[in-house]
Chain A
């Protein structure tokens, strides 16, 4: 199987500071991958590069064999680490928007999920609490039948019930032939839904391994192993 995401000697500097340094990695379709690392380790930089929001300083990053551009954006579904939808737009206008721009957007799916949370489609994003906004964002992103889902800190700062809702939504909705990358520093919370983990620290890939392998070989959870690897 060919990789959906591949990095070769990928580097990115910001004014001389290296955020990513010679990263090599390859992610196969059909996997749920945790991109794990402390804050400032390069997770968001990597995800932004994959979305074409940043341009590499060195090396390359390929999505399904192509450099990030309009074609790759059509198959990548991205959840940024912030609220990013226009405040003045209503949920219905947002659905129209996704419908117009993404050929793989399944509107019925989004409508159904919104209905289950009893979110009124006439409501404007500006009228919602931060938590509701984040749920709407996740629903829109997961209603796409994408080839690669890039979820940046989807469970950062949410309560346990919301966390379960988020993970549940991800598991129930991702396209099974797609890869899902979840970046987070809250490992214990996501560990059970992951196939694979990538440990990243100071712009370097420290480890890429199957979760089962870590548990079998190390005899401990990924969370415990992570704490051991990143012990300060």
Chain B
């Protein structure tokens, strides 16, 4: 994770986004132990309360859980992680489609472009 935050959004929202991405991509694998709030805060250069708030958000979303004695862990519920990944993917696509629409592309043009892109890659 990085220390650069966008200036127009609360930092905790950005932290939630970053961590969702890390969990969905597997950078933070299921069952992995999270550093303490204070260590995370120091590492990211942010306020511990901000980290706390972000973690609570993620916990509410079921992506992490707290074990009273040993700390916080990434959920082992792979279905939940899959749902998160799905949601992130969908929102990426929505953003992409919105941008393309702004440029004046229609659906079939976009699909055609994507196919072309795929052929070039392979």
Which A residues have a C-beta under 8 Å from some C-beta of B?
Answer: 30-32, 164, 167-168, 171-172, 176, 192-195, 211-212, 215-216, 219-221, 223-224
Contacts and interface: CB of A to CB of B under 8 A. Distances in A.
B10 interface: yes
B10 A193 contact: no
A12 B43 CA distance: 40
Given A168-B42, A171-B42, A192-B5, A216 B47 contact: no
Given A192-B47, A215-B10, A171 B3 contact: no
A194 B41 CA distance: 11
Nearest to B49: A195
A224 B12 CA distance: 18
15 contacts: A30-B49, A168-B45, A171-B41, A171-B42, A171-B48, A172-B38, A192-B44, A192-B50, A194-B47, A195-B47, A195-B50, A211-B11, A212-B12, A220-B7, A224-B7
B7 A215 contact: yes
B8 interface: yes
Interface in B13-55: 38-39, 41-42, 44-50
A189 to B, nearest CB: 10
Ordered nearest first, which 7 A-B pairs have the shortest CB separation?
A221-B7, A212-B10, A192-B46, A215-B10, A171-B42, A219-B8, A172-B42
Contact of B45 (A31, A193, A216): A193
Contacts of B49: 30-32, 195
B9 interface: yes
A206 B47 CA distance: 23
B49 to A, nearest CB: 5
A192 B11 contact: yes
Contacts of B48: 32, 171, 176
Contacts of B11: 192, 211-212, 215
Contact of B10 (A164, A216, A224): A216
A223 B5 CA distance: 13
Nearest to A168: B42
Given A171-B41, A192-B3, A32 B47 contact: yes
Nearest to B4: A192
Contacts of A176: 38, 48
A215 B45 contact: no
A164 B47 CA distance: 13
Contacts of A31: 49
Nearest to B53: A212
Contacts of A212: 10-12, 50
Contact of B8 (A164, A167, A192, A220): A220
A216 B9 CA distance: 6
Nearest to B46: A192
Interface in B49-73: 49-50
A172 to B, nearest CB: 5
A28 to B, nearest CB: 11
Contacts of B10: 211-212, 215-216
